[in-house]
Amino acid sequence: MLKKIQHYLEYILILFLEKATLTMSRYSRKKLAAFLSTFFYRFLPIRKKVIQNNLQTAFPDKDQNWIETYTRKTYYHFLRTYLDIFPVHKDSRNKFKKYVEIKDLDKINQLLSRGRGGVVVLFHLGNWEVPGSLFSRKDYKAAALYQKQSNKLVDQKILEARSWNGGLLISKNDSPIKMMRLIRDGGLLFMISDQDARGSGLFVDFLNRPSSSYRGPALFAIKFKAPLIAMTCLYKNGKYVISSKIFETSHRKADEKGIKQLLQEYTRYFEEKIRQYPEQYYWLHRRWKTVPENSN
């Protein structure tokens, strides 16, 4: 009973967030994010210790003042990101164009001109909701892999937003055949892959520590003989700027060595971006929760 009440209250909060943010200007949303970030940092420091421990791990040469500064900036960036969730998907195309820019689109189009799609991998960096919305708005055949949430009401609302512009959604529990068909038919499969993969993951180096990482994006790309596109959407000078790096897979083997090598390569790409824009990475999650068995 208590769980149902909690889920309903979460749903009411999501409905309020949608209605409020869709009627606010971008400037107002930024001002609200600034106010809320100060409030959370001072009075409701959710996962503050996690953020600071992660920053200290990733940037061991930085002093405590730097850690405190980027903890504050992390709160601000992600509150701004959360307030943009519904506008990113539901703003008009003209409004959307004013604050979203994409680079390297010609390179992606050249890949797709071969008649085969690709695997797009993102980290929780910048605003990971924007790329899927942009490609759907441009009428590309694109699908996002997603994990169903325990709150079915909230899950339905988020899925509604993500599919608002015709984007497809594939549950992680669905058959891999759906993903294979999408890529075979020239589509882009979007996957977010930077959370702790526990015992089923492969360990690669990430920000000074071995990190248990999901093999899915590298495995699918190599197995389906599709390019892997590492994509970021960073907030720069008032705009979300999408850029990418393409990793060819035709020469790679779908064994553990080949998968791990590709995983490490695109992890390094994201690591470089995180070091440039540390406040835009999702330090709130426990990325290094799993440690290798042979770790001392």
Report domain extents, the chain.
Answer: 2-280
- What pLDDT, on a 0 to 100 scale, did the predictor assign at position 227? 95
What pLDDT was estimated at residue 296? 54
Asked if 141 contacts 185 with a C-beta cutoff of 8 angstroms, the reply is: yes
Question: And the tokens for 233?
Answer: 């959407």
d(CA 215, CA 234): 24
Alpha-carbon distance of 258 to 156, in angstroms, equals 37
> For residue 140, is pLDDT > 70?
yes
Whole-angstrom distance, CA of residue 143 vs CA of residue 179: 9
Is 218 in contact with 259 (CB distance < 8 Å)? yes
**Average model confidence (pLDDT) across the chain:** 94
How far apart, in Å, are the Cα atoms of 25 and each of 21, 48, 95, 164?
Answer: 8, 29, 11, 20
- pTM confidence score: 0.93
DSSP 8-class letter at 252: -
Residue 295's pLDDT is 59
Q: At residue 119, does pLDDT exceed 90?
A: yes
Q: What's the pLDDT tens digit per position in 227-272?
A: 999 999 999 999 999 999 999 998 999 999 999 999 999 999 999 9
pLDDT above 70: residue 62: yes
Residue 163 pLDDT exceeds 90? yes
In whole angstroms, what is the distance from residue 221 CA to residue 227 CA?
6
Say whether pLDDT at 1 is over 90.
no
Helix axis angle for 26-43 and 64-83, nearest 10°, is: 130
